[in-house]
Amino acid sequence: MAESGTAADGLERKLATILSADVAAYSRLMAEDEERTLETFRAHKEVFEKLVQLHRGRVFNTAGDAILSEFTSAVEAVRCATEIQAALRTRNDQLPSERQVNFRIGVNLGDVMVQGTDLLGDGVNVAARLQGAAEPGGICISGSVYDQVLNKLSLSFKPLGELNYKNLPQPVRTFAIAKVAGLGVLPSPTRRHQLVSGWRLRPFVVAALILITVGGVSWVRSHYARNRAEYAPTAGLPAPQVDQRRIERDARRSARANRKMTDAEALAAPESGQVKLQSDQVSGPTAAATPGDDPSGVYRGQMCYAAGAATEPAHCFEAQAVVLGNRISGEWPGRDPGVTIYLAGDISQAGQVAIHMHSKRADGSSFAISDLIGTVRDGRIDAKGSFRDGRGVTLNWSKN
């Protein structure tokens, strides 16, 4: 008894936010092509771990395709989860649909036990069950997390009700993240109506059993209607979606279609459609980037167009893009129906940034091509440039 009491006294417990993730259909992907699946998974995992670190979390356990991370803040954990899904969606868009590696993510705030660098207990188990309830590419959170992030993040939620999960004694209030301001819609499951809560049978289940017993009548499983309520986007925020391959392909086409370039436009590489950085192009001091600094993250802020023709007044709008390493990319809908704006660029080790941007109509034709140069410094991107008709454009974004 003394030994048992000593062990209990030495047990460390704490409150933590747990992010649990695994790959949907991992067994099928491995069975079809082990090498390609592992290669894609490792690349996704690298992005995953980098974003966890950016949000002050830590990965405390991995097993096969599963990754467990710990955060001291529920807000940071949910921010990290949404950015992981946005970044991995960008990478998956470059793969055939049958070869895409999609993570499901669950986030829970609860009490956990500390065992060395590992964490154990119901706080971890609930996160794992929530992850299993999420759609591929989606996120489910517990009620404890929902209570912490409500009104702190620009998200739309789909309530799934109190769900019973395997080996958990109590039902868990469950929500799916349905929409993220600036990143768009996430896959979310149909609202689940549970037939059984513990061993308590609902009246219509009892009635069905009576019919089967007395009359030998077979009954058809009912399907519950999807919640079709549309989640209104946050006012003033576009919904950029990153598709790097499409950005670069369209940029190359734009460059080839505009052979007659000015001296400033000649800086665009004909095969990449990107602007090459020159040391004398950036006015003012260069970015004071510390060697080894990683600017990765989601940046958001104002993009302003100067006045153009009489029908084109000066105006500003909110936009955002994702930075991973030395690459920046983004995509959002234009003001006119069927128009999409694409952005891609490179960041040098010194903190200089060169950005190529163009708009594309529904028929595939490109227009409003512009190039910007500037700096990445202290969690900010500041750049300016012009369209090919001379109209000015500026960008001032901060890291979220």
Is pLDDT at 30 greater than 90 in this prediction?
A: yes
User: What's the token pair of residue 240?
Assistant: 């950029």
Q: For residues 170-204, b (16+ Cβ closer than 10 Å) or e, as one string?
A: eebbbbbbbbbbbbbbbbbbeeeeeeeeeeeeeee
Contact 87, 80 (CB under 8 A): no
CB atoms within 10 A of CB 253: 16
Concatenating the DSSP letter of every residue in 28-39 gives HHHHH-HHHHHH
Do 156 and 51 belong to one domain? yes
230 falls within a domain:
no
**Least trusted range by pLDDT, from 54-58, 253-257, 373-377:** 253-257
Residue 130, classed as helix, strand or coil, is helix
Do 26 and 161 belong to one domain? yes
Burial of 390 (0-12, 13-18, 19+ CB in 10 A): exposed
**pLDDT at site 245:** 54
Report how far residue 21's alpha carbon sits from residue 57's, in angstroms, rounded to the nearest whole number. 14
225 falls within a domain:
no
Do 254 and 208 belong to one domain? no
Do 195 and 249 belong to one domain? no
231 falls within a domain:
no
Do 203 and 254 belong to one domain? no
User: Which H helix or E strand runs over 211?
Assistant: helix 203-215
Do 282 and 178 belong to one domain? no
Is pLDDT at 185 greater than 60 in this prediction?
A: yes
Among the candidates 194, 215, 236, a domain finishes at 215
Do 133 and 92 belong to one domain? yes
* 219-224 contacts at long range (C-beta below 8 A, 24 or more positions apart): 224/190, 224/191, 224/192, 224/193
Highest mean pLDDT, choosing among 126-135, 210-219, 289-298: 126-135
Do 40 and 184 belong to one domain? yes
Residue 138, classed as helix, strand or coil, is coil
Model confidence pLDDT, tens digit, residues 324-335? 878 898 887 877
Q: Bridge-partner residues for 266, per DSSP?
A: none
237 falls within a domain:
no
Model confidence pLDDT, tens digit, residues 336-363? 888 888 888 888 888 889 999 988 887 8
Contact 95, 127 (CB under 8 A): no
164 falls within a domain:
yes
**Least trusted range by pLDDT, from 2-16, 31-45, 133-147, 245-259:** 245-259
Its sign, for the CA torsion 261, 266, 269, 275, is: negative
Nearest to 155 by CA among 237, 42, 60, 277: 237
**pLDDT at site 29:** 95
Contact 354, 373 (CB under 8 A): yes
Do 25 and 173 belong to one domain? yes
Higher-confidence residue of 258 and 129: namely 129
- Amino acid occupying residue 36: R
277 falls within a domain:
yes
Do 256 and 344 belong to one domain? yes
Give how many domains the chain has, as a whole number.
2
253 falls within a domain:
yes
Residue with tokens 């030395």: 326
Report how far residue 372's alpha carbon sits from residue 390's, in angstroms, rounded to the nearest whole number. 12
Nearest to 284 by CA among 394, 378, 387, 374: 374
Is pLDDT at 206 greater than 80 in this prediction?
A: no
Among the candidates 215, 235, 269, a domain finishes at 215
Do 50 and 188 belong to one domain? yes
Backbone angles phi, psi at 248, to 5 degrees: -70, -40
What is the dihedral angle through the alpha carbons of 226, 228, 229, 235, rounded to the nearest 10 degrees? 120
Do 180 and 288 belong to one domain? no
Burial of 129 (0-12, 13-18, 19+ CB in 10 A): buried
**pLDDT at site 190:** 75
Model confidence pLDDT, tens digit, residues 292-322? 467 888 888 999 988 876 567 888 888 888 8
**pLDDT at site 270:** 36
Tell how strand 155-163 and strand 172-180 pair up.
antiparallel
The reported pTM is: 0.52
CATH number of the domain enclosing 129: 3.30.70.1230
**pLDDT at site 142:** 98
Is pLDDT at 235 greater than 90 in this prediction?
A: no
Model confidence pLDDT, tens digit, residues 63-74? 889 999 999 999
User: Which H helix or E strand runs over 13?
Assistant: strand 12-23
Confidence tier at 388 by pLDDT (50, 70, 90) = confident
* Cα end-to-end distance, the chain, whole Å: 52
The range of the structural domain enclosing residue 351 comes to 244-399
